[in-house]
């Protein structure tokens, strides 16, 4: 429910992801209406006369003309690839699709990626490799409550996805059990029947160790492996090297706890294995998720009613945002941009020659680090992201943005990135525009505009259409969401993420439609993999993977592990939540969570300002003592800007497959400031 100025919000009761039983929202959801009327809301375009001049209000024509002229000038001097685009996992499906089309058709640049590369890319790569298809949850979220055992690796849903906890509560009430893998005793871990407190960066070794025990203790499903999978014997050969005592030395998890976890999974009639960012945001993230998939396949879970493997989506449209073309290597429908058949299909929908489509571009971290360098992009158009706070090695990213000839940011708040831009475009907020989003279970939902946008504000679709016109782009760039969605349907037809049978009318009538949905007479697909996997032979792939440890381990100079994450009251870079009074009151300041024993050895008292230093830079925040964290590890939330920016410290080392940065572990030293 949304009403007038001073907007109030209420959960939809018909969407199971809201927690069931009348629906629920977290604190961020309940207070989201306040964002619509914040005092520093952007409502007029801003522009600098020159790089060292202040941002000043200008007309839309002046701002768009400046952008178009800058793009033409830079591309004429440096080539089409000198202009880049950066998107966000919170954009609607229509905007994510149009952004990808704009980059490839209007700009003809290969250089487009998005902040979802920081979020879901390793899980996506692992699921594509194993199953031939990436959908966060391959089953409806209501299956959570029916599972006898759930293993959750690297997720603190009690703080990051509170409505999801309702499903865990329902699972517990019917006698189900929960296993949590996390270096911290989080609010979620405290709910668990078993907490496996791993050393940061060792989740892969733990998953291999659990599979070793599943094999030796007779819990694998041999008939399932023979009928529905390939590659198990190669995996078994690697797993022989992960005997329990070795895994305990690597991970810090006691052997009896590992045995208990395997029995809980192996004896369950229905079981789910789920991963989240804690297991995925590593330079070995794809292999880590693969190791948990191997465990799930060996137990016979994926594709079995009431069981399976899945990963929890992190952003507002984290699932849909990665399906329709704003990734560097992707075209709509989850098609590969280097696939000739995919290029021909999408080019036909767009009315261009397939040869005019660029190839793959740089992934997010590589793109940001290349900005303003010799041979790198000279201009960046940024929609729905705040990399000055959210990107790894954020100090370097800030310097790269400052080196650009042209930085354009579309946003509704003056974020830490927006205030560095040459042109800032005021964009409509979530309640002021219509569009679709796809939730973690693959259900496509329609979010209708609930109130008019402020005068002078435009939607991202309108901005892209206006720029495409100024650049004389071929084809049509619609500004109306329904028109863009119909084109998205056509472009996705026949792809892995096939939306061709989904219409706005069906979404409303059916309370969302699950993809793939290849025709308007198709019911949608709430459960994938029931009959076959999306591989050429229909079999899932087990892939051998070895533990390699973090890209940067502790040493004499940097003897402590740092891990980062979220807190209940804030979200992502905090650009929005730090503007909501109730959320600021709930979590007013950044901190370093440190075990009292470690603090004692370093002469730090609770409440002291602590300088945390990595090989990339330093951050300062208040010490907060907790026995919930390991003695060799500290934790910092990443929602704050300024001197407490956790991502000034984090390691941009990349997973070789997904190009995911290693947010979750790096080596630091601490000292009282």
CATH code at position 86: 3.40.50.740
> Are 297 and 324 in a shared domain?
no
Does the residue 412 lie in any domain?
yes
Here the tokens at position 646 are: 């956790």
Residue showing tokens 């354009």: 408
Q: Is the model more confident about 197 or about 20?
A: 197
The answer to which of 125-134, 580-589, 648-657 has the lowest mean pLDDT is 580-589
Residue-wise pLDDT for 205-262, tens only, equals: 999 999 999 999 999 999 999 999 999 999 999 999 999 999 999 999 999 999 999 9
Is it the case that residue 203 has pLDDT exceeding 70?
Answer: yes
> Are 202 and 347 in a shared domain?
no
Does the residue 16 lie in any domain?
no
Beginning with the edge strand found earlier in the chain, give each strand of the sheet holding 443-447 in spatial order. Answer: 435-438, 443-447, 513-514
Residue showing tokens 């517990």: 172
> Are 349 and 466 in a shared domain?
yes
Assign residue 175 the CATH number of its domain.
3.40.228.10
Does the residue 537 lie in any domain?
no
> Are 622 and 635 in a shared domain?
yes
Domain boundary among 279, 312, 345: 312
Does the residue 588 lie in any domain?
yes
Q: What is the largest CA-CA distance in the chain?
A: 71
**Which spans in 1-49 are helix H?**
27-30
Please give the Cα distance from 251 to 140 (Å, whole number). 32
Task: Compute the mean pLDDT over every residue in the chain, rounded to the nearest whole number.
Answer: 94
Look at residue 148 and give its three-state secondary structure.
coil
Predicted pLDDT of residue 1 = 37
Residue-wise pLDDT for 57-70, tens only, equals: 999 999 999 999 99
Does the residue 363 lie in any domain?
yes
| C-beta atoms surrounding 396 within 10 Å | 16
The b-or-e profile of 283-316 (16+ CB within 10 A means b, else e) is bbbbbbbbbbbbbbbbbbbbbbebbbbbbbbbbb
> Are 141 and 103 in a shared domain?
no
| C-beta atoms surrounding 581 within 10 Å | 10
Total number of residues shown for the chain: 673
> Are 260 and 292 in a shared domain?
yes
Does the residue 651 lie in any domain?
yes
Does the residue 396 lie in any domain?
yes
Domain tally, the chain: 3
DSSP state of 293: H
> Are 369 and 437 in a shared domain?
yes
> Are 276 and 394 in a shared domain?
no
* Alpha-carbon separation of residue 232 from 127, 224, 226, 286, 449 (angstroms): 16, 11, 9, 18, 50
> Are 283 and 220 in a shared domain?
yes
Domain boundary among 487, 514, 541: 514
> Are 246 and 148 in a shared domain?
yes
Report how far Cα 493 is from the mean position of its chain's Cα atoms: 25
DSSP state of 105: I
> What's the domain range around 267?
137-312
Asked if 239 and 212 touch (Cβ cutoff 8 Å), the reply is: yes
Instruction: Give all strands (DSSP E) within 402-558, no chain letters.
Output: 406-411, 423-426, 435-438, 443-447, 513-514, 540-541
Here the tokens at position 672 are: 């009282």
Please give the Cα distance from 104 to 107 (Å, whole number). 6
Asked if 442 and 425 touch (Cβ cutoff 8 Å), the reply is: no
Q: What's the N-to-C CA distance of the chain in angstroms?
A: 47
> Are 83 and 142 in a shared domain?
no
Residue-wise pLDDT for 560-615, tens only, equals: 999 999 888 888 888 888 888 998 888 899 999 999 999 999 999 999 999 999 99
Torsion on CA atoms 502, 508, 509, 515, rounded to nearest 10: 30
Instruction: Give one DSSP letter per residue of 381-406, joined into a string.
Output: EEES--HHHHSSSHHHHHHHHHT-SE
Q: How would you classify residue 556: left for phi > 0, otherwise alpha for psi between -120 and 50, otherwise beta?
A: alpha
Q: What's phi and psi for 400, nearest 5 deg?
A: -70, -40
Assign residue 647 the CATH number of its domain.
2.40.40.20
Please give the Cα distance from 611 to 633 (Å, whole number). 15
Domain boundary among 289, 312, 335: 312
Does the residue 522 lie in any domain?
no
Please give the Cα distance from 411 to 388 (Å, whole number). 14
> Are 474 and 333 in a shared domain?
yes
Residue-wise pLDDT for 358-393, tens only, equals: 999 999 999 999 999 999 999 999 999 999 999 999
| pTM of the complete model | 0.95
């Amino acid at each position: 429910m949304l009403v007038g100025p001073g907007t109030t919000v209420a959960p939809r009761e018909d969407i199971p992801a809201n927690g069931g039983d009348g629906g629920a929202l977290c604190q961020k959801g309940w207070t989201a209406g306040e964002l619509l009327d914040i005092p520093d809301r952007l409502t007029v375009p801003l522009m600098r006369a020159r790089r060292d001049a202040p941002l000043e209000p200008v007309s839309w024509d002046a701002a768009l003309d400046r952008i178009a002229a800058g793009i033409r000038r830079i591309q004429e001097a440096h080539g089409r690839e000198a202009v880049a685009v950066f998107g966000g996992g919170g954009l609607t499906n229509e905007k994510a699709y149009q952004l990808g089309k704009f980059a490839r058709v209007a700009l003809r640049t290969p250089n487009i990626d998005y902040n979802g590369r920081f979020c879901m890319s390793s899980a996506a790569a692992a699921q594509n490799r194993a199953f031939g298809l990436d959908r966060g949850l391959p089953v409806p979220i209501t299956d959570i409550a029916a599972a006898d055992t759930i293993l959750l690796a690297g997720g603190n849903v009690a703080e990051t996805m509170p409505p999801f906890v309702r499903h865990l509560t329902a699972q517990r009430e019917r006698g189900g059990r929960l296993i949590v893998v996390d270096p911290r005793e989080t609010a979620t871990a405290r709910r668990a029947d078993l907490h496996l407190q791993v050393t940061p960066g060792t989740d892969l070794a733990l998953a291999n160790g659990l599979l070793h025990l599943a094999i030796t203790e007779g819990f694998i499903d041999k008939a399932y492996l023979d009928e529905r999978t390939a590659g198990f014997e190669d995996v078994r050969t690697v797993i022989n090297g992960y005997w329990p005592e070795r895994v305990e030395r690597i991970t810090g998890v006691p052997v009896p706890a590992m045995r208990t976890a395997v029995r809980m999974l192996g004896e369950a009639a229905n079981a789910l294995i789920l991963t989240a960012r804690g297991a995925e945001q590593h330079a070995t993230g794809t292999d880590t998720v693969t190791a948990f998939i191997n465990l799930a396949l060996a137990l016979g879970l994926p594709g079995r009613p009431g069981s399976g493997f899945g990963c929890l989506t992190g952003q507002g449209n984290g699932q849909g945002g990665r399906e329709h073309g704003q990734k560097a290597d992707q075209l709509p429908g989850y098609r590969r941009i280097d696939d000739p058949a995919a290029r021909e299909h999408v080019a036909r929908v767009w009315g261009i020659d397939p040869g005019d489509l660029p190839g793959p571009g740089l992934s997010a971290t590589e793109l940001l680090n290349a900005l303003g360098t010799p041979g790198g992009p000279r201009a960046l158009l940024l929609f729905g992201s705040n990399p000055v706070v959210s990107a790894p090695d954020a100090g370097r990213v800030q310097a790269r943005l400052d080196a650009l000839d042209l930085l354009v940011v579309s946003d509704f708040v003056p974020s830490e990135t927006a205030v560095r831009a040459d042109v800032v475009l005021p964009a409509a907020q979530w309640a002021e525009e219509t569009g679709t989003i796809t939730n973690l279970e693959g259900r496509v939902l329609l979010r209708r505009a609930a109130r008019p946008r402020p005068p002078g504000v435009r939607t991202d679709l309108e901005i892209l259409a206006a720029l495409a016109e100024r650049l004389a782009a071929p084809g049509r760039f619609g500004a109306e969401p329904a028109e863009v969605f119909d084109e998205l349907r056509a472009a996705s037809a026949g792809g892995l993420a096939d939306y061709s049978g989904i219409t706005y009318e069906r979404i409303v009538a059916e309370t969302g439609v699950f993809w793939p949905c290849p025709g308007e007479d198709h019911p949608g697909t709430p459960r994938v993999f029931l009959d076959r996997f999306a591989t050429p032979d229909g079999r899932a792939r087990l892939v051998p993977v070895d533990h390699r440890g973090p890209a940067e381990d502790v040493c004499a100079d940097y003897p402590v592990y740092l891990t980062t994450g979220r807190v209940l009251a804030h979200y992502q870079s905090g650009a929005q939540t730090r503007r909501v009074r109730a959320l600021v009151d709930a979590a007013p300041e950044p901190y370093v969570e440190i075990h009292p024993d470690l603090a004692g050895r370093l002469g730090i008292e609770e409440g002291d300002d602590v300088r945390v230093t990595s090989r990339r830079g330093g951050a300062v925040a208040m010490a907060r003592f907790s026995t919930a964290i390991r003695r060799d590890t500290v934790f910092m939330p990443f929602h704050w800007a300024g001197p407490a920016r956790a991502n000034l410290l984090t390691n941009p080392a990349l997973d070789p497959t997904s190009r995911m940065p290693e947010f979750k572990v790096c080596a630091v030293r601490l000292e009282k400031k």
